[in-house]
A and B are shown apart, each in its own frame.
Chain A
């Protein structure tokens, strides 16, 4: 087996006296689709923030693409090929949809490995991405003119524009209707087929089950299960964590 793309080793994070993450181990191989679930407050978002550099972990290491990325700022990790979408969409509100997508193109894809994109290439890439997520008709609109589902799509498109190796989608579907969820799952699978490794953090089990090849469960800062989705959801410990013993 090839060396994993992302390797989280014994990761720990506290907020004052509260232990948010306690010795998390996780490894994700190239091209995998991993689902990350857990009850509210179990540390899923904190784990994402520590992996992406929004928060710095206090103990343990995060290794990405063969390099230790601890201590690197979020934008440096993005340059190395890690991209994320936020739990609540955080578009740049004064920029149009296509300008939103332009930002990672200008700042990440443009400077990586000395590749310099021409203005025409950037515009073409922009159009391709808005087309991919179905926002082409709204490219010149402001984020405030978008619906919730379109906002989530913009969030994903912006993460995609950085040409990541690993995409971390933090609750990309919360609050969406069934058909909208199916839309986003289909989109994520399409991205995965292009060779992008995806970690999906989600509450909606139907989406997680249809998307994930492997399921990881966090409960109060600890990993309690990791394996094929069907085994994990039948794990008595997981059922206990969700329903109470």
Chain B
């Protein structure tokens, strides 16, 4: 029942925003909204490893870029069919390529998921700061590889000519927005399902005490690999449509600092124990950044994120969700009956014990 309500609400909210933006009739709203949605996916993905398992990933940009560049590679493949494939195959490939965006997202997810699995296998014996440094190193290694890979443009970057419009919806940006909207619902639903499952409890024990988790029969290594794979795959899925959105992709923008910083800051500011946290954090920071880009300058974006992060770490280390939770616990516990606050708490899976 609660799950049904959750899906209903998320679909309604998404549809309402989409229709509202169409009603306003300004494509910039879709353009800005896409970025916010993309950060919802990234923040939620980061939180699966960082928030639930307690492993801080500084290499989000690498997973994001891996998804983006898998799309670029497939796009280039489609553009150069006659040169790359023998004649016998060219006809067949012409039928398959270019791939539609949803397929690209799946492929980007697989590529980044495999990278996540590999990274996890190599680095998860490391703990704390050492794991964080290893993920940072991964981003550097991957960026170097891409810079030296001529097929996807190397350091010059790659132009992606996207179609101007699309049947039914009209403008292509609306289509991309819709795709990202669906993706963010999928990401949040994934996080929510994990949180309520056996897997979520397992992740929490890894965050709290790995030795005790092992003693309780939790296969910690396997669970950590599952977490890196899911987290990496979702980040790659967020990156896959990006070249079509931006039109021109170069390594320094795909591996930009903004992705790594935002995907950490958003869950931290929102709160890391529940799927609500990254959502709230991404909406808040994403919208502030979009507004700042229009009114001040895009250069202040990272400054805003940095200041907010410092502020929250000092004032509310548990994030917005933590603040709300403390407020609700204080009010909801003194009567035995469920109140709207405790119902909301249950809906958002803010267990009484959660940090």
Contacts and interface: CB of A to CB of B under 8 A. Distances in A.
B196 to A, nearest CB: 11
A78 B215 contact: yes
A79 B215 CA distance: 9
Contacts of B204: 92, 94-95
A91 interface: yes
A142 B208 CA distance: 13
Contacts, number: 92
Contact of B208 (A92, A104, A110): A92
Interface residues of B, number: 25
Interface stretch (B84-92, B334-342, B346-354): B346-354
A231 interface: no
A106 interface: yes
B339 to A, nearest CB: 17
B353 A140 contact: yes
A107 B218 contact: yes
A142 B214 contact: no
Interface stretch (A23-31, A82-90, A205-213, A217-225): A82-90
Interface string A81-118: 00110100011111110010011101110100000000
B216 A162 contact: yes
B310 interface: no
Contact of A75 (B209, B220, B354): B220
Interface in B259-286: 273
B215 A92 contact: no
A73 B201 contact: no
A232 B134 CA distance: 53
A75 B219 contact: yes
B125 to A, nearest CB: 13
B241 to A, nearest CB: 35
B209 A107 contact: no
Nearest to B199: A106
Closest 3 CB pairs of A and B: A108-B217, A96-B353, A74-B214
Interface of A: 52-54, 73-76, 78-79, 83-84, 86, 90-96, 99, 102-104, 106-108, 110, 140, 142, 158-159, 161-162
14 contacts: A52-B215, A54-B214, A54-B215, A75-B217, A76-B219, A86-B212, A92-B204, A94-B355, A99-B353, A103-B201, A104-B217, A106-B198, A106-B202, A142-B353
Interface of B: 198, 201-202, 204-205, 207-209, 211-221, 273, 351-355
